């Protein structure tokens, strides 16, 4: 089985406008050493994929995603662009099915996440959220109190996702399948640095082709 390793690109190839700080690009691949799951027995690694094989269990404390794996290889990031392909493995007959992309992860009760779901009529589904030592709070611009952005994933196919975060402005944007306009946007400055990850509330799915690009914290 071929294992991918993370890659630090040469500083010259990733020069920024400020010479003091260079961008770093990390590709954690399917190597379990590059990931830190909450519950290792619920995860499988291989064939280029990181797979949450079964549903998580509700944790004690604030309401937040049940199960996830954090990228532990490389640095924590400030400015970040996360790209990947994701898939929800639950059948489409389950309307609350989801996967989540985590960023600015500081601790199990302090982070941001993007919830990608086929249900856009429920407060905790298909949006951008922050967990700050309290139950998750919705922060995306698309939620109007009853309906959010169009469903992100309503099938069992792979979907390309790009999540961008600029801590200087607090701006967050999520693009699906190469669309020029973001599906989800928000502005939130509560956390400006942290790690990234993948998981779900109470479903299961998988991720591949993960690339993290940004400035180390």
pLDDT per residue rounded down to tens, the chain (217 residues): 333 333 333 332 222 233 346 899 999 999 999 999 999 999 999 999 999 999 999 999 999 999 999 999 999 999 999 999 999 999 999 999 999 999 999 999 999 999 999 999 999 999 999 999 999 999 999 999 999 999 999 999 999 999 999 999 999 999 999 999 999 999 999 999 999 999 999 999 999 999 999 999 8
pTM of the model: 0.89
As a whole number of angstroms, the distance between CA 38 and CA 5 comes to 22
* CA distance linking residue 119 with residue 148, whole number of Å: 9
State how far the Cα of 151 lies from the Cα of 117, in Å rounded to an integer: 6
What distance in Å separates the CA atoms of residue 27 and residue 6, rounded to the nearest whole number? 5
Rg of the chain on CA atoms, in Å: 16
Rounded Cα–Cα distance for residues 80 and 23 (Å) = 9
Residue (of 172, 36, 50) closest to 115 by Cα position: 172
Taking only the tens place, the pLDDT of each residue in 45-60 is: 999 999 999 999 999 9
């Amino acid at each position: 089985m071929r294992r991918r390793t993370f890659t630090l690109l040469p500083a010259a190839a990733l020069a920024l406008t400020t010479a003091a700080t260079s961008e770093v690009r990390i590709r954690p691949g399917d190597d379990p050493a590059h990931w830190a799951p909450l519950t290792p027995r619920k995860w499988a690694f291989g064939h280029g994929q990181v797979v949450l094989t079964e549903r998580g269990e509700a944790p004690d404390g604030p309401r937040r995603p049940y199960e996830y794996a954090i990228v532990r290889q490389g640095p924590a990031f400030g400015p970040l662009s996360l790209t990947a392909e994701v898939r929800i493995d639950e059948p489409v007959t389950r309307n609350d099915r989801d996967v989540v992309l985590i960023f600015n992860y500081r601790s199990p009760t302090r982070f941001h996440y993007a919830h990608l779901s086929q249900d856009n009529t429920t407060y905790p589904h298909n949006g951008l959220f922050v967990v700050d030592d309290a139950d998750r709070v919705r922060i995306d611009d698309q939620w109007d109190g009853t309906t959010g952005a169009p469903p992100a994933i309503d099938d069992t196919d792979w979907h390309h996702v790009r999540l961008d975060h600029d801590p200087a402005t607090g701006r967050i944007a999520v693009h699906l399948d190469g669309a020029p306009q973001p599906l989800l946007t928000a502005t939130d400055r509560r956390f400006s640095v942290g790690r990234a990850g993948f998981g779900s509330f109470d479903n299961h799915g998988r991720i591949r082709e993960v690339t993290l690009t940004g400035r180390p914290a």
